[in-house]
Chain A
Amino acid sequence: MTRRSAVRSESGKLRRVAIVGGGVAGLSATLRLAELGVPVDLFSLVPVRRSHSVVAQGGIAGGDGSGTEADARAFFEETVEAGGFLAHQPPVLGMALAAPEIVDLFDRMGVPFHRTTEGRVDRRRLSGASVARAAFAGATTGQQILYALDEQVRRLEAEPVLDERGLRVPGESLVRKLERWDFLEIVRDDAGTCVGLVAQELVSMDIKAFAYDAVLLATGGPGSIFGKSAYGATSTSAAVAAVVRQGAVYANGEFIQMHPTAVRGANKLHVVSDALRAEGARLWVPAGKTDRRAPREIPEKERDYFLERASPSHGNLASADVATRAILAICLKEERGVFDPDTETNQQAVYLDATHVGQRTLRARLGGAIDTWEKLTGVNVCTTPLQVFPAVSYSMGGLWVDYEAGSGGTIVPLSPRNQATSIPGLYAAGEVEYQYHGANRLGGGSLLSCTYGGLLAAGAIAAYRAAMERSALDLPKSIFEKSQKASEKAYGDLLGRGQEDDAAENPYALSDELGEKMLRDCTAERSDEALDALSAKLEELGERAQKTKALDTSTRANAAVPAMRRLEGAVLLSRVIVASARHRGESRGAHFKPSKPSRDDAAWLKTTLARWQDDAPKVVDAFDASCAGKTISHSSAIDTSLVSVRPSTTEGKA
């Protein structure tokens, strides 16, 4: 048997793979794939340096610095437990074991982590953690990590592709960036395998189908569906909605994290990192319900440090779900939020107070975040307590992905199953997938899981590509032409839509309506009645979303028409999330039903698996997925082989 070329297909074409999304997960995968000699096309809505990872603040969980396995095991158990035992345990263990190496890697890339007096990487304790495990750069750690990866990928853009004899392939660079491109959908062959993608360049508006041996989605969280949240403008949920529509299984969609301490800003809600609490900030409300005094005039004994009461073990660093519910209970149930003398009402706000910590310490350890918070909120955290309230900030749920574990639960690093979605040839890493955080994510966990998932996906894709019978680049052109034509037609239809129709709606206004409804009925508390009503409402919004008006008919740099299709995607994904929330008849982690307020392991220690069927979301108990020629049955059962399920010590007390 002749050995197939790793670089060229039978017909002599360069065998590239695609990565969609240039945040921490996508860039980590790019870096490792390039290192493995696999040429990459990197698609991004924005120049990758502007990706949403830039807003991660507190740090990256990376071990306590001892590098011991005991520490990694403790971290693993803490992550699994905080996640309500809903995550499969082997991948979480893999991540915990790799965490110190990942921090070392970023340290070698020159990430300016805060240092100890000896000049080594310093750590801080973030929410839900029992010890200090998060390496940090001020309180803007995501920015520094994203930039280090951006720099590495920029370096690789100048690197040539080498063939198996080590010779340069003329005119080809190892990494090509396609920035300001919008992913539309994957291309599938007759067997249903992902063999490429269709995307649109957002200046020329050209639509093009590309052949790739594999596609990795690293497109982040479902931002646009929760209205005012902590997400930015690029977390559109469009890419994930597109592949769910094409058949990908979505898992644990009901687990949406609210960051407990956010400040209302004009554009959105601004997360104030747990880093501030790690440096000593405390949450409190006045003990007197109608205390009219300014916060600093209220003496110590007339303050209620409610989270320290609710969570004696973790205090102000209780995990996000516990802290969020404590704040909601104070503000909504007990109506004891900060009193506003002007309106004579209790606000939906509690104090986050770091004024006792000292300006110098806060400056040294939080860096640029203090200025950013001041610019956005008008308040200097060093001198004035902030008024905060929870905001949607992260989705634990996401695309279902696989993993392969060997004996003792060790992840097989080069298995093509790792990070593979239910569609063969389509991979996912980062917040877009569901694998690492179960029902609730710990502080410092997102940067870690994005990096680990991205690196793991790269190895899996390289293995998948090496084992391919036939490269996607050798498939008949007609497959791609067909996809391209269909997408072009869909775009053309949108461009002409609603021009003669006075009742055609504004897609941006409709998107606001969606956000308000989802935020009200499908975040911190879910009742089955409200979810049923919401579900009906979403069907209506879905119909209206198909009748929006093209606000712009020009053929260049048209932002309004992509907004129409993104809205349709956002409604679709909202329906999947609502169906998942309706399905789960218990409370666990970030999912809370007042009618079923406790965790029910006997009935619900299982993954929620949802897929799109006959134009509606459907929760399923099992499905088959094939990868690299093998078909495997997957069910909602969870691998809890490494640490036994026990009632959580922090959960449900608040």
Chain B
Amino acid sequence: MAKPEKGPKKIRLKILRQEAPEKKESRRWDTFEVDCTANMTVHEALEKIRRSPVTTEGKTVSPPAWEAACLEDVCGACAMLVNGKVAQACSLRVEEASPKGKPIVLEPLKKFTLERDLVVDRTRVFDGLKRVKAWIALEGTAPRGPGPVVGPDDQAERYALSRCTACGLCLEACPEVRESGRFVGAAAIGQARLFEIHPTGALHSRERTESLMEDGGVADCGKAQNCVEVCPAKVPLIDAIGEMSRATTKRLLFGWLLK
């Protein structure tokens, strides 16, 4: 029997391909094999594939499309499903995704409209930020001195919330979020909380909390807590949902007094 050839370890990636949402007939799986290098990430494996986009059946295909920007886990661009679980391709190491060397399965996020291959349209996440008015109502850019005094504890909570990249993984993992549903999702609720605990942001608490009392607001949260488990930035989403839920209840009960 011939000895197995010595060489770099190989890894297979099985990728779900589709050219456009309406082109269901173009849906197929392509499998590629790449040389595994130390600390290789899923992103880097995809980069290797595009340098030589030939499947294991020897067929030359178009390079798979995926999103990438910062390549250091802070921008949220490269979110996708890896072996059925949500992940960011730039920080997930191949050996973590497949400790026993089994093929790695890549699919696009499923709660968003497909654009192509692993790319989806996540406008919905940004629309959520618009809906909850996640901003300070700034008067303008002319000098007005410093902002309000903020205590170190509030700053620490706000900093944790401000790490949200709008990657959309919390929406993907949430059982209450459906492609056609109205639930705004954890990310936007977290960003609402970010401005609730800022002295200037709190001046506009009414419209922010009211936006979360509408259909698809904070009451739609089913408390599955998947969001906080999958959040790559460890944003304290459950705490934020709890706080915003309390704020909406308070407004519902006493809103007529607060107005």
Whether both chains belong to one complex is answered with: yes
The count of residues in chain A whose C-beta lies closer than 8 Å to any C-beta of chain B is 72
Interface bits B128-149 vs A (CB < 8 Å: 1, else 0): 0110011111101101111101
Q: How far is the CB of A415 from chain B (nearest CB, A)?
A: 18
In the bound complex, do residue B75 and residue A50 qualify as a contact, i.e. CB atoms below 8 Å apart? yes
CA distance A551 to B49 in the complex (A): 12
What residues of A have a CB within 8 angstroms of the CB of B249 in the complex? none
A560 touches B90 (CB 8 A): no
B105 is an interface residue with CB less than 8 A from chain A: no
Chain-A contact segment, one of B7-15, B33-41, B174-182, B206-214: B33-41
Q: How far is the CA of A111 from the CA of B158 in the complex (A)?
A: 9
A279 to B126, CA, bound (A): 35
Complex contact A266–B93 (CB within 8 A)? yes
Tell which of B19, B74, B143 touches A54, judged by Cβ atoms closer than 8 Å: B74
Q: Is the CB of B162 within 8 A of A270?
A: no
Q: Does B226 contact A (CB under 8 A)?
A: no
For B40, what are the chain A residues with a Cβ–Cβ distance below 8 Å? 266
**Interface window among B61-69, B217-225, B236-244, B251-259:** B61-69
- B195–A138 CB distance below 8 A: no
Known interface pairs A35-B140, A506-B52; A110-B74 also in contact (CB < 8 Å): no
- Contact of A118 with B149 in the complex, beta carbons under 8 Å: yes
- Whether A368 pairs with B233 at a CB distance below 8 angstroms is yes
Evaluate whether A154 and B130 lie within 8 angstroms (CB atoms) in the complex, with A35-B140, A233-B71, A509-B51 already known.
yes
Q: A556 to B116, Cβ gap below 8 A?
A: yes
Question: Are B68 and A115 within 8 A (Cβ)?
Answer: no
Question: Is A46 in contact with chain B by the CB < 8 A criterion?
Answer: yes
Q: How many CB-defined contacts (below 8 Å) exist between A and B? A: 205
The reply to whether the CB of A252 lies closer than 8 angstroms to some CB of chain B is no
Q: Are the CB atoms of A506 and B51 closer together than 8 Å?
A: yes
Nearest A residue (CB) for B64: A559
| Binary per-residue interface labels of chain A (360-379) against chain B in the complex, 1 for a CB within 8 Å, 0 otherwise | 00001001100110011010
Residues of chain B within 8 A (CB-CB) of A268 are 71-72
How many chain-B residues does the 8 Å CB contact rule pick out?
Answer: 72
**Inter-chain contact A137/B162, CB cutoff 8 Å:** yes
Are A372 and B74 in contact (CB-based, < 8 A)?
A: yes
A144-B141 contact given A266-B40, A552-B62, CB 8 Å threshold: no
Proximity bits, A138-154, B CB within 8 Å = 1, else 0: 10100110011001101
In whole angstroms, what is the CA distance A113 to B27 when docked? 47
B interface list, Cβ under 8 A from A: 19-20, 37-41, 43-44, 47, 50-53, 62-63, 65, 67-77, 90-91, 93, 115-117, 119, 122, 126, 129-130, 133-138, 140-141, 143-147, 149-152, 155-156, 158-160, 162-163, 165-166, 194-195, 198, 200-201, 233-234
List 16 A-B residue pairs with CB atoms under 8 Å apart, sorted by A's residue number: A46-B69, A47-B166, A50-B75, A108-B138, A110-B198, A113-B155, A144-B159, A267-B71, A268-B71, A268-B72, A368-B159, A376-B73, A556-B19, A556-B116, A557-B119, A560-B62
The 6 closest A-B pairs by CB, nearest first: A107-B147, A552-B62, A119-B149, A557-B116, A151-B135, A112-B158
Known: A154-B134, A266-B39, A559-B63. 19 other contacts (CB 8 A): A32-B141, A47-B126, A50-B77, A104-B146, A114-B155, A115-B155, A137-B159, A154-B130, A155-B135, A265-B41, A265-B72, A267-B41, A267-B90, A364-B156, A368-B233, A551-B63, A552-B62, A552-B63, A557-B20
